[in-house]
Structure 1
Amino acid sequence: MDQTCDPTAERIAEGLGFSCRHANPIVTFRNPFSLSNGTMPVLELLIVGGAVFAFWHAWRRWRHDGDPANLTLWFASVAYLAVIEPPLYFPGWFGLDKQVGFIFSHNVFTVQFMYDRLPLYIVAFYPALSQLAYELVRTLGVFARRGALVGALAVAFVCQVFYEIFDQLGPQLRWWAWNPGDTKVNKPALASVPMNSMFLFASVSFAALTYLVVRLTSTSPSASTGGFGVAWRSVIAGALAPLAMLIAGAPAGAFQGHGHLTIQTTIISIGLAIVWIIGLALIVDSWRAPRTHAAPAPAPAPPPTPAPAPLFARTYPAIYLATLAALWLVALPAYFTATNGVTSAGTPIGSLWYATLCAAAATGVILAARRTTR
């Protein structure tokens, strides 16, 4: 059997409008104006541009401020992708076809790698989102007040709310397609999105990455300011982060199968609820912190002004949120006319209520970050 395009992969790809047969094993380029729909190049520009912006910001933090955490996190996110994504695309290569099966397939975008399985924008998505969440949490002062572990938990929440606005929309707009026949990983689901993905990929992975990076760059900062220090810490953090996903996914994974969907749903829902409760508590704490700790200066001189938030933290999260909101507006007509969770174009819809809740929380995080440095 062809491990790069088995019958299941071919069926999912055909549903997206392309064939995985005879795909280039390295890279394929396409006209961005000839993709499946007009939302796809917009998404690419948002995410790839965000990753470039994040790299510029991380480089400045490293070279101008002497803080290697941002740049280490940027590269650690790419290292994490290199570890986690290939087994998802080609489980047969790694002997995982019986354990996980074929989970999903991306659609073909302007630049595509690895037999058309890996779009460039997905490579960019990890560093763009990890930097977005880390900078917002850092700007809120959570790391400074609470330390690496609590700061990483706040990152888990921020990633959840920004990621799921995107995650709940993608299948309807044919950015990717989940394999409905894979009940080991893709069930249970919230609308069309597997809850395992919502919890493990949208929160646990980013929290683990952030914690490892912050710990590795803070234990010996003088040794990590050089390029070699950034490189090896990035590789270690990216390689170890999937272990946290295995640990966090073990309770629900112990009850795989149709007969235990209710138990799995309960376990994952509790995990998501914990992410929300901790995250909201930390955001509220950050919102109140400037008032709580702002005491009148005893001297005639005015109290020191908080440092302004970096340009990246002030602009990109809002651009990301506004662009995804606009793409959701494009999708809403077909969403409201869907029958049994499927649009007239044959694509599954996500959860509008959860995406709306995430958008409201993301807006609150942005406002809190701006207030903190006002």
Structure 2
Amino acid sequence: MGYSCDAAAERLAERLGHSCHHAEPIVDVRNPFGLENATMPFLELLVIGGAVFALIHAWRRWRRDGDPVNISLWFASIVYLAVIEPPLYFPDWFGLQEHVGLIFSHNVFTVQFMYDRLPLYIVAFYPALSQLAYEVIRALGVFVRRGPLAGSLAVAFTCQAFYEIFDQLGPQLRWWAWNTDNEMINAPALASVPMNSMFLFASVSFGALTYLVTLLTGTKRGRGPLTGRQISLRTLAAGALTPLAMAVAGLPSNLFRGGDHLGIQQAILTTELALVWIAGLILLADAWRAASRADQPPVPSPQFARIYPALYLGVHMVLWLIALPAYFAADDGITEQGTPVGSLWYAALCALAAAGLIAAVLRATTSKKIREPVRS
């Protein structure tokens, strides 16, 4: 098993409290009450339950409402995961050790795949979050009023808000560990979180995936209903092409990777993240104003959009409260348990944005002028 547990992977696994040696190559199951800490099974339940909820909602949107975007987005997220994650876990297998290296390692949760590198909850995280963001923006009517590109930009912003609440907390609670020795990819960072990850994985990936799915499977003038085979092929294409969009979006900062250019790279990534926020806040403000207009066309208001985002935010707020004592007792960004803390101010900003999005959805979908029978 040594080829799946090199020195860097072994070091990260030990930091997380387990060993990567003798791991099961396909799947391993553990006692959920015997994990590294008590927050982990609650995180699994939140994310896996959300993915199941999202799948049920997506299936109903397709079969009952005739809209295949949700179901395509759900499965395109899995295709994207299958393309992007294995090279990150095993860069040697794909000849990427010199170009990428080992970036991070997940802790072991209840169900693990691929030599303990891929937790089931991570598989579920992609469709759960992509569906959360898409449904929030769709319920706000951004896609109807502004089209796929603007809607996808709004999705990128929404994912930034909800993802970074999770991303800034995970390393402290040992959900995963970043390979800090890999400065080529993991620097610069905001507290313990690499800024490349914040921009590319938390925003660009979901925005690009949504744009490709809506472009390929969404309703268009002159295009009739797609067959199941057409939806499947277009779903595969959207998921497989998303990493290419990420590579293109990463070019500006990657041109200044390494050497004495870290400050320039940080400035570029900060600017890119700021643009995500500016575009998202403009579109959110537009959606908030539109909800007050009498001529605003009705947008379906499914239970998923009104329940899961609030549940996701609420559970993460509880998890943050659990983490705060150790956070404030940390010395130079390291807790007494030896784990790095995230950025509290940025997580709080994301939580505020997420709360604003939730409030906007509730306001828009409970308005008398667009009230309709409840859909799940």
The TM-score, its normalising length taken from structure 2, stands at: 0.95
The equivalent of 1:227 in structure 2 is 228
Question: Structure 2: how far apart are the matches of 1:73 and 1:103?
Answer: 26
Give the Å deviation of 1:307.
5.2
Cα distance in 2 between the residues matched to 1:175 and 1:253: 27
Q: 2:268 is matched with which residue? A: 267
Which residue of 1 is the match for residue 372 of structure 2? none
SS in 2 for 1:105: strand
Residues 151-170 of structure 1 mapped to structure 2, 5 A cutoff: 151-170=151-170
Cα separation, partners in 2 of 1:206 and 1:259, compared to 1, 3 Å = same
Matched, 1:313 2:285: no
Aligned twin of 1:364: 356
1:7 maps to 2:7: yes
Residues in 2 aligned to 1:277 and 1:91: alpha-carbon distance in whole angstroms: 35
Which residue does the alignment assign to 1:196? 196
Q: What is residue 301 of structure 1 aligned with on the other side?
A: none
Residue 315 of structure 2, aligned match among 315, 323, 330: 323
Structure 1 CA distance for aligned equivalents of residues 321 and 24 of structure 2: 35
Deviation string, structure 1 residues 279-330 (Cα, Å, up to 9, x no partner): 0000000000133x415xxxxxxxx994551010010000000000000000
Aligned to 1:205: 205
1:222: how far off?
A: 3.2
8 Å CA contact 2:87–2:93 kept in 1: the answer is yes
Q: Which amino acid aligns with 1:170?
A: G
Cα displacement (A) at 1:232: 1.0
Residue aligning to 2:294 = 294
Query: Paired residue for 2:49?
Result: 49
The 2-side partners of 1:315 and 1:142 are apart by: 19
Structure 1 CA distance, aligned partners of 2:297 and 2:187? Answer: 50
Contact 2:140 2:299 in 1 (8 A): no
1:338 has 2:330 as partner: yes
Structure 1 counterpart of 2:49, which letter? Answer: G
> Which amino acid counterpart does residue 222 of structure 1 have in structure 2?
G
- In structure 2, the CA distance between the partners of 1:223 and 1:307, relative to structure 1 (3 Å rule), is closer
Secondary structure of residue in 1 paired with 2:177? strand
> Deviations for 1:52-92, whole angstroms, at most 9, x for unmatched residues?
00000000000000000000000000000000000000000
Distance 2:97 2:275 in 1: 32
Are 2:239 and 1:247 aligned? no
Match of 2:125 in 1: 125
Distance in 2 (CA, whole Å) between partners of 1:341 and 1:75 is 38
1:22-59 deviations in Å (ceiling 9; x for gaps): 11110000000000000000000000000000000000
Contact 1:3–1:90 at 8 Å: present in 2 too? no
Q: How many residues align?
A: 364
* Distance in 1 of aligned mates of 2:326 and 2:148: 43
Give the letter for the 2:103 counterpart.
I
Partner of 1:299: none
Partner Cα distance (1:110, 1:183) in 2 = 31
Identity rate, percent = 66
Determine the structure 1 residue equivalent to 2:146: 146
Aligned residue for 1:264, secondary structure, equals helix
Using the TM superposition, give the Cα deviation of residue 223 of structure 1 relative to its aligned residue in structure 2, in angstroms: 4.3
Moved over 2 A (4+): 218-224, 304-308
Indicate conservation of the 8 Å contact 2:76/2:235, yes or no: yes
Q: 2: CA distance between counterparts of 1:203 and 1:21?
A: 34
Q: CA deviation at 1:111?
A: 0.2
Q: Residue 139 of structure 2 contacts residue 299 of structure 2 at CA under 8 Å; is this kept in 1? A: no
Gaps of 5+ in 1: 296-303
In 2, the alpha carbon distance for the partners of 1:269 and 1:289 equals 30
Kept in 1: contact 2:141–2:299 (CA 8 A): no
User: What is the root-mean-square deviation in Å for CA atoms of aligned residues?
Assistant: 1.4
CA distance in 1, matches of 2:144, 2:297: 17
- Structure 2: segments with no counterpart, 5+ residues: 368-376
